[in-house]
Amino acid sequence: MKTLNKIFITLASIFALISCEKDGDKIYLQSLGSGELIATTDNVVLTSEMSQKIVLSFAWKGQDVQISDTTVGTAAKAKNYMEISLSEDFSGQVYKNETTSNSIAYNGGELNSIVNELGAKVGEANNVFFRLGSTTGENIPYAYSNVVRVAITPYVIDMNTGIVVESNNDNANLGETGVILYSPEANGIYSGFMFTPYGWYHYFLKEGNGLMWGTAGDEGAFHITSDAGNNRQNMWFPGSTGCYYVNVNTKEATWDALYISSLAISGLGENPINLTLDKENNLWIASFTATEAGEKTITISGNGDQWNVETGTNDGAGIPVNVAFANENNNLVLADNAGNISVTIPEAGECTIKLDLINPNDRKVYVEAGGTDIPSSYSQTLDVVHYNDDGSEVALTTLNLVNKDKGIYTGTYSGDKLDFQIIDRTNSVWYGCAPNDNTKLSSSEDKWDMWFNGGNTVNVTITVNLSEGTWSYTDNQEDFPEEITMYKYDKTNSTITEKIITLSKESVGVYKGIFNGLYNFDFIFVDESTYSLYGSTWSESNPNGQELSIGAGALWIYGYDWNVTLNISITVDLNTMTWSYKEITE
């Protein structure tokens, strides 16, 4: 169609000239003159970070097609072409693109692709020549501008490698992580293993051409875009921390992640050996006892959850799947069924087997002589925290790890009945409960704060099981008396003598009372319902005698000599087995 149009335009011009010539008037289509081409710079050093930025622009004065008789019109239009070559006389390979305006601009990625295609040397400054060609038709010679020389240093475009860039809740670029995903065909489809240091880990993926891929914010999780103007946000993983197999498909603008929750190796003994994820070194490891040195055939399999555009990232939405590995060209790959894999046992006795998945082109499993300390996949403590309306934290208690294999934690809390969250600060995971189920842990955005049932105060033992994703509590209130009594204490005869004050219950296990009088005695606290005596024993870690224990020695008011008059508020906390005082200044 375009060719026909050009023919019609040319014929129309010829007919117009012939018609005029018959009338005795000759009208001529004037040739275009050469215009001046101006560049914004004469030196450009390209990097992938500049791929979306304008790095080089040209401008020139526009030209209109002129005709000898100004009263006669013409359909002919001037066409401008930017020509680029490594030859100053443009005798070699020439890149040419048409432009309809009086200027043209190149971003870093586009310019890098052009000069690489022309054969420029990567990492070196190449003399690249630009000129503008203008014409009014296919068969009309070009009118060329001046030639502009620009020194351009291109970079290698590695479209096999996608670079993982860490981000955060603010969509900030926190820098490259050193982790890569790989595209064997350099076709925009990248895959590989990633080890997330905490739940809801955020990242971008940067291609070799400089494009940065993140979540298409208007479409939601696992939909991606490289267009920063398309409400681009970072990509984020589900709440589970650990090992994921990731696929990023820039062609379909989606990504997905397979969370691997467990792996086991068969073939090293009578029973399968469970692997533990060593988060610090990004390895799956296990210790075992080898009966002999030599070659062994093993299989590796496990369980996981698939996450994608269909599931989103809410807790529990992942699709349970089986996981298996096979050997393909001396590189471990995921497979539908576990394949035979050969390992070398260096010696009989304690050995350690390691599964290394981080390098997409060198995934391997190997055995080292000697055992190793198997790290716990769980942090040592969890914090129980209440959040005020202004977002500030109120620490309630700390839970300690009591079962490192199953991630079971326990701890006690006594005080006001407050809603709360449980925080794994090591892995940056904030747990609440699943909506409408206060026993199920959840770290998703729609989680609820957890709560205790009962009155205004509680005294409970809290248990958290991370392997099962549950929590519970038991009531300890019957363990504490309604009041505590302060008695003078005769250290010589180890007997209580005169009653001083009664401390009333403030909350479960916490008692307060006021002493106003002459201080000239040793003392002890007594639970008169069970006749339990709470005293203390001096030590370097307990220099003021504030730590209480049943049946221990006399207490003293630290910081004061005898025979002074005091007005103080005394607090006894049987939850923490401590006591303290505060001066009353009113």
Give one DSSP letter per residue of 496-557, joined into a string: EEEEEEEEEEEETTEEEEEEEEEE---EEEEETTTTEEEEB--BTTBTT--B-EET-B-B--
Nearest Cα residue to 56 out of 107, 127, 128, 102: 107
Give 507's pLDDT tier (boundaries 50, 70, 90): confident
CA–CA dist 66, 198 (Å, integer):
69
CA–CA dist 88, 103 (Å, integer):
21
Asked whether residue 14 carries a pLDDT value surpassing 50, the answer given is no
Nearest Cα residue to 355 out of 241, 467, 243, 240: 243
Q: In the prediction, which pLDDT does 576 show?
A: 80
Q: In the prediction, which pLDDT does 380 show?
A: 82
Asked whether residue 11 carries a pLDDT value surpassing 70, the answer given is no
Within 219-340, strands assigned E span: 224-225, 232-233, 235-236, 242-249, 254-266, 273-274, 276-278, 283-290, 294-307, 319-328, 331-334
Q: Mean pLDDT across the chain, nearest whole number?
A: 85
pLDDT tens column, 132-153 = 988 776 667 778 889 999 999 9
- Domains of the chain, earliest start first: 2-153 (2.60.40), 158-375 (no CATH), 381-478 (2.60.40), 483-583 (2.60.40.3620)
pLDDT tens column, 373-409 = 877 767 888 999 999 988 888 999 999 888 877 889 9
Asked whether residue 47 carries a pLDDT value surpassing 90, the answer given is no
Phi, psi of 118 (to 5 degrees): -75, -10
3-class secondary structure, 265: strand
Residue type for 570, please? I
pLDDT tens column, 546-558 = 988 877 889 999 8
Average pLDDT over residues 457-474: 88
CA–CA dist 365, 264 (Å, integer):
12
CA–CA dist 115, 307 (Å, integer):
41
CA–CA dist 353, 469 (Å, integer):
29
Q: CA dist 23 to 11, 13, 20, 329, 471, Å? A: 19, 16, 5, 83, 102
pLDDT tens column, 203-228 = 999 998 888 999 998 888 999 999 98
Query: For the chain, what percent of residues have pLDDT higher than 90?
Result: 51
Top-confidence residue, 232 or 109:
232
